[in-house]
Amino acid sequence: AATGGQSITHPVNKHKPWIETSYHGVITENMDTVLLDPPLVALDKDAPVPYAGEICAFKIYGQDVPFEAVVLNRTSGEGVLRASGSVDCEIQKEYTFIIQAYDCGAGPSGADWKKSHKAVVHIQVDDVNEFSPVFREPLYKASVIEGKIYDSILQVEAWDQDCSPQYSQICNYEIVTAGTPFAIDRNGNIRNTERLSYDKQQSYKIMVTAFDCGQKRAKEDVAVHIDVKPICKPGWQGWNKRVDYEPGTGSKQLFPKMHLETCGGPLSGVRAMVELQTNHIGKGCDRETYSEKSLQKLCGAASGSTDLLPAPSPSTNWTASLLTDSGRDSDLIYRFDGRQAANVPDHVVPQNLTDQFTVATWMKHGPSPGLRAEKETLLCNSDKTEMNRHHYSLYVHNCRLVFLLRRDFTQVDTFRPAEFHWKLEQICDKEWHYYVINVEFPAVTLFVDGVTYEPYLVTDDWPIHTSKIDTQLTVGACWQGGEVATPRFTQYFHGSLSGLTIRPGRIETQKVISCLQACKEGLDINSLESLAKDIKFHFNPAQSVLVVEGEDVDSINTAITKVSYINSRQFPTPGLRRLHITTTVQCFGEDTCLSIPDIKAVVMVLPPSEPRITITGSNRLVRPAIDLQGPLGVAPFKELHITSTVMKGDSFSGCEWRAALGFHRPGVMEVMHNLDYCDILVIGEELNPERESLEIHHNALLGKHLDATNSTSGISIYGVDSMAHYEQALRQVRYKNWRPATLSDRRFRLTCSELNGRYTSNEFNLEVSFVLHHSAPVEHVNHMAAQSQYMRPVHHPLMIHTFNSHMSGTAPPAATVVIVVCIAALVVIVVIGVYRIHTTHQEGSREDEDEVKDPEDWDNSALTITVNPMEVTQENREEEEDEEDEEQVGGMTSAESDNSDEDEEEEEEREEVKKRKQRGKLEWDSSSITY
């Protein structure tokens, strides 16, 4: 109660709100609710007084704090803490700030409010596993040495952007690729589970993934490349097992990138031997495969040698029964297996073996078969009947080469050297070697591959007494004609032979022997001047073995890169050539310290562009029989042409290049090369020497590397020479028949060869027909008309001949009518001839001039043309006076038919042309008119 009218007032808001001094909260990232411990509650002692005892707000103090506090119940003072913005653990893991509570003040206006003390709030942001592991490198690479087990080859590493240890740590790695010899641990270390081999697999590619501790897998796997390195093995590296060689490209490097790996060892010297193995090619090398006679002529050997193993042909048929070694690039090789032998015909056997002669052959021979080695005869000259004396022979016995030479009995009956023995490894090494025996009695020298060997043993014997017993020359065995019931071969040869020849009267020179066995392929070294000074090298004579020596590995490497293969043949034998390299290395103070494995490689000689040899010309020649009876006969192959072309691929299609080499159409190129023989074979009945002949004059071969042989079956022209020379020679082959009435025609077949038949031409067939002449005028006219289809223009000037005046004066009237008819026909022929002259290629060669007095299509046997004496110049009068004294034979003077000198013919023709130009008148050659 109030007394004395005076009131008393009390403060309404006496106390401050109260909160805890610190709070700890947790919020999950990307969420807005914070879990506080303890809960957010403010108390006020003024309660339950309105306003003063109520809590109106919580205030937060801190910079960039993404939280707010909200009062849930003013009376109880409960509140909540919420995120006011984005909360990201990866940006900030924890927050610390100040919070205060405010009461509602003294009244509704909120005046006189009070605030609590400051409390510290510490909030931790909980992580969410939102990121996948990522590898730090896009690709991992490592290398291992073969044969070794590694604890760790390399370590891969992944990371995670999550903020918590649980989700940011990588708990596991895994190899995704199946079946690999590798494993990985939880730290990313990769190891091999087995020993790796470089030869088996040189590299591996494996895929690896990673997991974080929340088992979240990496989005992208990572590739790991592991290379397997070979154990450092001393040896040659950087070489190819096959080297292709294109014919005609000269020298080609075999090992341009090869080098010797020595694994760091200190060396004092290296010796490398490069061997080109060509024993499977022909006669042990890519040699020219021309016939033996052609090769001898090519090498400048003296003529007169006899080839005892020629190619089988109608004229050399004694080798037809022998076995030839096929597939040898036309290299004529005969293989003897102990059952083959051949008798050389008597007319072939050289008869004049004197104190000087040469026996040569290629031989490939191995150890003799059987327990008891028998004599194996290459060549034997023995008695044909009655006795069994060996006059001379060449045989192999127990890997010894023996030459037997029994001289005939002379005035002095004394012991003489008779058997010459050589003991050489080459005789039984199953390789090809070239053997030449030079006899200068009593000295005998053997050349093997150009190297001389004296006999190690010479045995004397008595000379052979002369007798009338014929001898038999045999190849591949010895003929036993006497002392046995049935004559037979004995002492058969086992092996291969080629080019077995005898040259009587001369011994062969070292130069020719070297040429005959020369090899066209071999090893070579390019740019010798660039080799180091300490490099030493040498070749064997055939250049199939090269030895390189040096003290420095780098110098040796440089030298080996310059080793080349070369083949100088225009058409080499295609196929493999084996290469073998053996290497020895010396170290300081030791003989050998490193073992270098041998190298085996091959050179592949590609097939050359093969030539196509084509013979063209007229296939039929019709001639009056009288022409065949003349001393010159006829030239059947007068218009012959020989060409050779090769097909070329697109790589040779450049226009300028093609034009420079004479291309006539795309892809075809004319190629110039040599021929080695042309054979003219008589088809049908052989030539009868009593009435006909086919021959070539010796003058036609002068200045050429050609020889010729002929028989009743044909002519063979041989020798290594150009196609042009062969063409010239063939055009001068003459056929004569002095009894043509016995034969109506003759057929010939011509073929030509390069490299002893490796490339052969087409078979060119030619038929020569003879036309016999009769005296009936009607038949003459019909004959001339029938002959017109074979007429062709004459390309050389014709000479005028007049006959004796008494012949023209005594011509009967009927003959005069025929002459007029013939002259009319000749006018028509001249018109045709002039037209053909303009449309025909003019031939100016000397061969054309050879036939001035041998026209091909005209017969002068019966037609006489009277020339006005007033139109004949003084020179013609002198010519007539000379001719009146000559005997007339068939309408043609003997002087015309007998004169065959080519130079005189040419001189006469030139003078006659001058005379015609002076007269300016058309004159006829009576020798070329058919009547």
pLDDT, tens digit (0-9, with 9 covering 90-100), for 763-790 = 999 999 888 754 333 333 333 333 322 2
d(CA 619, CA 641): 12
Beta bridge pairs of residue 26 = 35, 124
623, amino acid identity: R
Predicted pLDDT at 624:
87
Predicted pLDDT at 833:
61
Predicted pLDDT at 327:
60
Cβ-in-10-Å burial (0-12, 13-18, 19+) of 929 comes to buried
Question: Which element (helix H / strand E) includes 515?
Answer: helix 510-516
Predicted pLDDT at 925:
42
What pLDDT, in 10s, does the model give residues 886-931? Answer: 433 333 433 333 433 444 444 444 554 444 444 443 334 433 333 3
497, amino acid identity: L
Least trusted range by pLDDT, from 92-101, 350-359, 561-570: 350-359
Beta bridge pairs of residue 746 = 768
What pLDDT, in 10s, does the model give residues 653-683? Answer: 333 333 444 444 457 888 888 999 999 999 9
Pairing of strands 242-245, 599-605: parallel
Predicted pLDDT at 58:
95
d(CA 722, CA 169): 89
Q: Residue 561: helix, strand or coil by DSSP?
A: helix
d(CA 493, CA 477): 6
d(CA 801, CA 867): 9
d(CA 394, CA 851): 51
Query: For the chain, how many residues are written?
Result: 931
Q: How many CB atoms lie within 10 A of CB 154?
A: 17
Between the CA of residue 6 and those of 2, 10, 303, 579, 729, what are the distances in Å?
A: 6, 14, 175, 139, 171
Question: Which element (helix H / strand E) includes 658?
Answer: helix 655-660
Predicted pLDDT at 852:
37
Q: Copy the structure tokens of residue 430.
A: 């199953």
Between the CA of residue 746 and those of 406, 625, 767, what are the distances in Å?
A: 49, 12, 6
What pLDDT, in 10s, does the model give residues 542-600? Answer: 889 999 999 888 889 999 999 999 999 888 989 999 999 999 988 877 666 788 899 99
What domains appear along the chain, each with residue ranges and CATH number?
17-126 (2.60.40.60), 134-229 (2.60.40.60), 235-278+521-605 (2.60.40), 292-517 (2.60.120.200), 611-647+668-771 (2.60.40)
Separation of CA 494 from chain center:
33
Beta bridge pairs of residue 471 = 383
Separation of CA 24 from chain center:
91
Predicted pLDDT at 835:
53
Mean pLDDT of 445-472: 83
Question: Which element (helix H / strand E) includes 18?
Answer: strand 17-18
d(CA 483, CA 489): 13
Question: Which element (helix H / strand E) includes 453?
Answer: strand 451-453
Rg value, the chain, Cα: 56
Predicted pLDDT at 651:
38
Give the count of alpha carbons within 13 A of 850, CB side only. 19
Comparing C-alpha atoms, which of 138, 142, 132 is closest to residue 205? Answer: 142
User: Phi/psi of residue 555, each to 5°?
Assistant: -65, -40
Longest dimension (CA), the chain: 213
What pLDDT, in 10s, does the model give residues 425-435? Answer: 999 999 899 99
Least trusted range by pLDDT, from 677-691, 736-750, 824-838: 824-838
Comparing C-alpha atoms, which of 100, 95, 84, 80 is closest to residue 40? Answer: 80
d(CA 297, CA 800): 45
- Sequence-distant (6+) residues with CB within 8 A of 477 are 340, 341, 377, 380, 489, 490, 491, 492, 493
- Sequence-distant (6+) residues with CB within 8 A of 289 are 282, 329, 330, 331, 332, 755, 756, 758
Q: Copy the structure tokens of residue 265.
A: 């060892």
Mean pLDDT of 157-169: 89
Q: Residue 70: helix, strand or coil by DSSP?
A: strand
Is 762:777 a contact under the CB 8 Å cutoff?
A: no
d(CA 24, CA 34): 10
Residue-averaged pLDDT of the chain:
79
Does residue 741 or residue 232 have the better pLDDT?
Answer: 232
User: Phi/psi of residue 85, each to 5°?
Assistant: -145, -170
